[in-house]
Every structure is written in structure tokens, then in C-alpha cells.
Amino acid sequence: MRRAGMSLSHYVMAWVVAGLAAGLIPGLVDGPRAAEQGDLSELTLEQLMNIEVTSTSRREQKQSEAAAAVYVITQEDIKRSGATTIADVLRMAPGLIVARIDANQWAITSRGFNSHYANKLQVLVDGRSVYSPLFAGVYWESLNELLADIDRIEVIRGPGAALWGANAVNGVINIITRHTSQTLGGLLMGTVGTEQRGLAVARYGAAAGPSFHYMLYGRYFLRDASGSVISTGDPADDGWHDTRLGFRADRDLAGGGR
């Protein structure tokens, strides 16, 4: 994490990320877009109950058949929420306690006993635990997956240690991202505000064969300080910014695996 004051250079950097992507990657804006998930309001009750989940038994099954209190946040929900962080997206899940400590820290848990170092909730990204070995919990400020690339978030309230091991005492959160075959083409996104001063996202995905897909992405954001006061009476210096560049590739195996 890096602290930052509010300077013009941070605004410039936000648009440089988007500008470089648009200039270096041909056809970024006009490339084919990923297939968007349908509007859930148009589905029948039976279709909603047939949404597939994988976190309750480590295999695909209908939500109505899952032997657990599971709630699914879909990509459509994320897009309509206007949230810019995973922590804010989780406010939509019933039974979760989502508390924002300051401008760059969150405390999230289920069934009480919430704190910044809460370690009774198992958090996964594509089935892999993302807990910190420092305290067996999650630093939510470091979990910066692109929201546009999240397929769904499955939230299970209740113990799940038999399947997921340590930490799954009060619940499990599984963040499932999209396969790169669903993120083809270009994406440019930017926001400007008073609290979140700047956000710029650039992504480009392509295919290198019938079974191999990849994507490149860059993300920059700048958030203002919370305005809270520390014990000395001085304003808290908790504004922050982050720059991230990444690459992902997926290959479909002959047996249907990835």
C-alpha cells in the first residue's frame, strides 16, 4: 500500500494508463465485447433457482439443491451496483457484516466478531485461498480484481471447514472470475469523483488459437483521505493510490479441463 497526497500527477497517471492501452493496442475500443450476462429481472423464479453454484460441494449444482445458505452476486448485480471495490460489492450479500474502517481498510465477516483482523471467514478467488499468513485473514485493500472480469461471487453463510479447511468457520466467499474467452476485445473505463478522485481501467483480450486465450490489463485509482482524526488531533493520512498491470492466459485441455 502506498500513501499519497492529492497532486496533479496522480490524475495524469490515471489517464496515461488508459491512453497507453488505446495507443499501443490496435482496435482496443472497437474490438468485440465479451458476452454479457442476461438481465436477471427477465428470468422466472424457476430459472433463478437453477443458477449453478460450485462453492457448496466443489462441483457444479443448482442453487436450489445446495445444502447451505448460499447467495450469488452475479455480474449483472455488480454492474448495476456502481461499486468500485469488492468490499462494496459484498454489501449486497445478506448476513455479511461489511464495515469500512478508513479510506483504505475494511473489516468483513459473518456471524459477528468483526474486526480488521477477523480470520473466521474463508475468502477464495477461483477456489484458491487469498488469506494472509500474517494473521490468517484477508487484507481487503489488496484484493483488487477487475470487477468487470468477475463472473459471480458465491457467499455461503455458516461453517464450511469440512470442505474448505481453516478459516471457514463462519462462512465462505468464493470470487469466480471469467474465462479469458469471455473477455475478448477491448475495454476502457474511467471515473472521476470527490472521494474516489480517479479510476482508470484498460483491458484487451484476444485468442491465439481455438483453445488458447489471453488478456492484458492495467488499473489505476486514487482515493481521497477519509477526513477522520487520529489521537494526536491531526487528520488521518489515509488517502491512497495503486497502479497495477497484469496478464492472464487460459488454455482448454483436451479432456475439458483448464
pLDDT at 199 over 80: yes
Highest average pLDDT, of 9-13, 25-29, 37-41, 179-183, comes from 179-183
> Can you tell me the mean pLDDT for 152-175?
85
> Can you tell me the mean pLDDT for 166-177?
89
Q: Does domain 40-177 have CATH number 3.40.30.20?
A: no
Average pLDDT for the chain: 78
pTM: 0.72
pLDDT at 2 over 60: no
CA pair distance 145, 9, nearest whole angstrom? 24
Between these two residues, 63 and 230, which has the higher pLDDT value? 230
Domain ranges of the chain: 2-33+181-251, 40-177
| % of the chain residues with pLDDT over 90 | 33
pLDDT at 33: 35
> Can you tell me the mean pLDDT for 220-235?
79
pLDDT in tens, 91-149: 999 989 999 888 888 999 988 888 888 888 999 999 899 988 888 889 998 888 899 99
